[in-house]
Structure 1
Amino acid sequence: MNITTIEQKENRIALVECEELLIRDVQSALDLMASVNYNCNSSRIVLYKSAVTEDFFELSTCLAGEILQKFINYGVKLAIIGDYANYTSKSLRDFIYESNHGKDVFFVATKEEAVEILATAK
């Protein structure tokens, strides 16, 4: 795992890049938050979709809700970079839409979009 710190608009954003699956369950999400906080002193994380288990995107598993609730509870903002066009589930599309109109979790297409949205999120 490689973590790069980006300073933008007085916010420290951690860009996490890796080849392996980082978020498999709630505990691995908590471990990621702790690692980023310790190494970068950041509560804003950019992560690629490939680092998140596909079960996360199957809303019937409740994994997305459980994991994202931890991010919100700990005050950590998250942007996940990826292509979401291939998901056909209306409930997942609605979930992504609602998240993107919130203030804590965002599903975006590019690194630049992720950094910009986390830099301006209140």
Structure 2
Amino acid sequence: MRPPKLRGVEHLFAAAGYSINGGRRLLREPAFRHEILFGAVLILVLAIQGASAAAFLIQLVLLAILGAIEAVNTAIELIVDRVSPEFSAFAKHAKDLGSFAVFCLLVANAAFCAAVLFKDSTSFL
């Protein structure tokens, strides 16, 4: 039996709780913990470089997107493993595509940090 739909402020608090639970679940993933370390290194490098506030903001947004994509990738993996516990080429493709999305964001984060580090004097960053 499904619980009743919440409305108004109750829904807002329930949604916040679901998000917190999702974050806790994601913290159990080694890949996500590695991405947190990766992000901390990028932020530290920007701090040592003396990057602008705009560069920090852009990097933090890219890292947040990386976290969101990792959450979606983890959700895909969980669903695929539940629906198809045996080996399936279809399941492998779904997982590989999720992994590729995470990889793209890792590259984007590293590329942005590198662009800030190697900027020329005319750059807005």
TM-score range, shorter chain: under 0.3
**TM-score, length of structure 1 as denominator length:** 0.25
Higher strand share: 1
Asked which structure has the greater CA Rg, the reply is 2
**TM-score, length of structure 2 as denominator length:** 0.25
RCO comparison, higher one (Cα < 8 Å, 6+) = 2
Higher helix share: 2
